[in-house]
Amino acid sequence: MSSPCDPQYAPAGDVSAALMMIDSRLKAVNDRRSKTDPEQRRMVDQFAASMGAAGLSELLDGTCTLIYMHMSWLRSAFEQHDEDVVEYVVPTLVATMRMMPKTYRPEVIPTMAGLLIAAGIGLSPNLWRAQYGPWTAAEMNPLEATAALLAEHVNRVSGSNDPSFATRLIADALSEADQG
């Protein structure tokens, strides 16, 4: 039986813009900067503001698509070892979220965990979230940070020394989709 949250019904959004924002966040983390460079944050905010309402909606959908794609990759990797991605990934990321109270206010953690679980069981995170009403302003920064945490987790699980593995994984998938 098909679910209304099946990924086939979900808009992909602007995955390229979302990937650019997440890659920027990952580079800041990998450069060992404890905080995002104020100039970089200003440029990202300016970019987001220039997109308009429709563009922001596309960016939200694109970010959820990244979460879905990364969780799908992780699900495949964990299944090869007869392990459950939800059991091993979600608690780790939630624990990390709880250690970041400025980014993740306690009330948004269940929503971010729900996005990860939805993607981990093969549902569209953006369609899952849509059941509960429109996105709130309080969820924007946590959504971006969740996608970045997840990408960083993909980098660690991959065993690659390449800090851009997760970014390349999505870029390669987009390139293959364009060619197909």
For the chain, list the strands marked E by DSSP. none
**Residue 128 near residue 118 (C-beta atoms within 8 A):** yes
Which pair of tokens denotes residue 160? 């690659």
Percent of the chain with pLDDT over 90: 62
CA angle 120, 141, 96 (to 5 degrees): 55
Cα 130 to Cα 74, 116, 119, 150, 179: the distances in Å are 24, 14, 14, 21, 31
**Residue 25 near residue 144 (C-beta atoms within 8 A):** yes
Burial letters 66-88, b for 16+ CB under 10 A, else e: bbbbbbbbbbebbeeeeeebbeb
Range in 21-35, 46-60, 156-170 with the lowest mean pLDDT: 21-35
What does the pLDDT average to over 7-17?
Answer: 93
Look at residue 6 and give its three-state secondary structure. Answer: coil
What does the pLDDT average to over 62-70?
Answer: 96
Question: Cβ neighbours of residue 28 under 8 Å, at least 6 residues apart?
Answer: 36, 37, 40
User: What is the model's pTM?
Assistant: 0.88
What does the pLDDT average to over 92-119?
Answer: 95
Q: How far is CA 55 from the centre of its chain?
A: 17
What does the pLDDT average to over 159-163?
Answer: 83
Backbone phi, psi, residue 18, to 5°: -65, -40
What does the pLDDT average to over 112-117?
Answer: 96
Is residue 33 classed exposed, middle or buried when 0-12, 13-18 and 19+ CB atoms within 10 A define those classes? exposed
